[in-house]
Amino acid sequence: MSVAVAAGFAERVRRREPLSRHTSWHVGGPAEVFFKPRDRAELAAFLRALPADVPIHWIGLGSNLLVRDGGLPGVVISTHGTLDALERSSDTTVRAEAGVACARLARQCIKWGLGPAEFFAGIPGTLGGALAMNAGAFGGETWQHVRAVETIDRHGEQRLRQAGEYRVGYRSVTAPAAEEWFVAAQLVFEQRPGAHAGEVQALLARRKESQPIGAWSCGSVFTNPPGDHAARLIESAGLKGFRIGDASVSQKHANFIINHGSARAADLERLIEHVRTTVERVHGVSLHPEVRIVGVP
Ligand SMILES: Cc1cc2nc3c(=O)[nH]c(=O)nc-3n(C[C@H](O)[C@H](O)[C@H](O)COP(=O)(O)OP(=O)(O)OC[C@H]3O[C@@H](n4cnc5c(N)ncnc54)[C@H](O)[C@@H]3O)c2cc1C
């Protein structure tokens, strides 16, 4: 199937764009059509013009995505570097668009004397991805701060939804409707005039001690099972350093899988499956990927 794009958008989309350029594992086949909207109006017009049977995927900074080597049929909407308005809307509320990087949100909240937002500094994704994943770190979680979200659906229809309309759990968010994506959020913080950049530096330094920051990874591959840590289970199953092709389980943090340069998505997926089945055999615990695996093999 070849995606028909309305005449006005033919120049604005990229066809067969390699998604390895847009994911932190640096793997992934092509997006059939890749579109980065200039703004929300253009996004709405683009969605309205798409045929109803074209699959739609969203990507932020690709820091939690394993795109298979055959790529993604249909359309990929990219928010990184666009949809990036960030403003303080009252003493304690912030309105941020989905493409805002979490690190920028953290820095700006500190400048405004708002918090606790430091944990966002360690999440190398966009706010849109953080909303979809309920990303969190160091005891903070994205949805603890969400008052409302602005969404768009495949017909270009926009809505304001209250946080209570979503079922939110540990790295999981269930939306009230399918095929509706985040374009912005209203976030609530406390006034914390004492918050300063030093706190962020301290958190990032702690992270660097225990995680292979800088290597090509997707952060934690599996969610932690109740009452335990995926990294502990993987390490004690003897899997640190286990390698398939150019992908291996990190020596520094066993819940990270590293692409050393030329791994393919298939190598990463086989390694994920090997870790999962080994931990199940050794410990009797079933691990679930936190990473979203999408596309065709
Ligand atoms: C080194 C490293 C450290 C990490 N540390 C942490 C951590 O401490 N805590 C943590 O929670 N995560 C961590 N992560 C994982 C990742 O950064 C987060 O899950 C992040 O929120 C993903 O954001 P993204 O923009 O990269 O999303 P992507 O990877 O691009 O997408 C993730 C999912 O969100 C969906 N999505 C993206 N944008 C939207 C949108 N606007 N509307 C609806 N759906 C959307 C995508 O379709 C996909 O299903 C880490 C990753 C790395 C590489």
pLDDT digits (tens, 9 = 90+) for 25-82: 999 999 999 999 999 999 999 999 999 999 999 999 999 999 999 999 999 999 999 9
Whether 218 is in the pocket of ligand 1, judged by its Cβ within 6 Å, is yes
Question: How does pLDDT run across 131-152, given as a tens digit for each residue?
Answer: 999 999 989 999 999 999 999 9
Give the per-residue pLDDT at 195.
65
Q: Do 129 and 61 meet the contact criterion of CB atoms below 8 Å apart? A: yes
Give the per-residue pLDDT at 91.
96
CA distance 248 to 257: 6
CA distance 163 to 181: 14
| CA neighbor of 76 nearest in space, from 23, 141, 116, 121 | 23
Active site (annotated) includes residue 220: yes
Give the per-residue pLDDT at 272.
98
Residue recorded with tokens 């764009």: 17
Q: pLDDT confidence of 201, banded at 50, 70, 90?
A: confident
The stretch 3-22 carries a mean pLDDT of 91
The stretch 254-274 carries a mean pLDDT of 98
Q: Is a pLDDT exceeding 80 seen at residue 194?
A: no
Whether 122 is in the pocket of ligand 1, judged by its Cβ within 6 Å, is yes
Local structure of 230: helix, strand or coil: helix
| From 171, 192, 264, 276, active-site residue | 171
219-245 core/surface letters (b: 16 or more CB in 10 A; e: else): bbbbbbeeeeebbebbbebebbebebe
On the question of a cis peptide bond just before residue 212, with omega within 30 degrees of 0, the verdict is no
Q: How much of the chain, in percent, has pLDDT values that exceed 70? A: 99
| CA neighbor of 129 nearest in space, from 173, 86, 170, 187 | 173
CA distance 264 to 246: 8
Give the per-residue pLDDT at 10.
87
Q: Is a pLDDT exceeding 70 seen at residue 203?
A: yes
The stretch 200-216 carries a mean pLDDT of 91
Nearest CA to ligand 1 atom 41: 128
CA distances from residue 121 to 109, 163, 169, 265 in whole angstroms, order as listed: 10, 22, 21, 27
In the structure encoding, which two tokens stand for residue 179, read together?
A: 């095929």
Please choose from 25, 34, 58, 252 the residue to mutate so as to test ligand 1's pocket, defined by most ligand atoms within 8 A of CB.
Answer: 58
In the structure encoding, which two tokens stand for residue 100, read together?
A: 């805002």
Active site (annotated) includes residue 248: no
Whether 28 is in the pocket of ligand 1, judged by its Cβ within 6 Å, is no
Q: How much of the chain, in percent, has pLDDT values that exceed 90? A: 91
Q: Is 12 left (phi over 0), alpha (psi -120 to 50) or beta?
A: alpha
Q: Where do runs of H (alpha helix) occur along 50-155?
A: 102-112, 127-133
Q: pLDDT confidence of 259, banded at 50, 70, 90?
A: very high
Q: Is a pLDDT exceeding 80 seen at residue 283?
A: yes
DSSP secondary structure letter of residue 8:
G
Give the per-residue pLDDT at 287.
98
CA of 106 to the centre of ligand 1 (A): 16
Q: Average pLDDT of the chain?
A: 96
The stretch 93-113 carries a mean pLDDT of 96
Give the per-residue pLDDT at 242.
98
Give the per-residue pLDDT at 83.
98
In the structure encoding, which two tokens stand for residue 43, read together?
A: 């996004």
Give the per-residue pLDDT at 1.
55
Q: Is a pLDDT exceeding 70 seen at residue 159?
A: yes
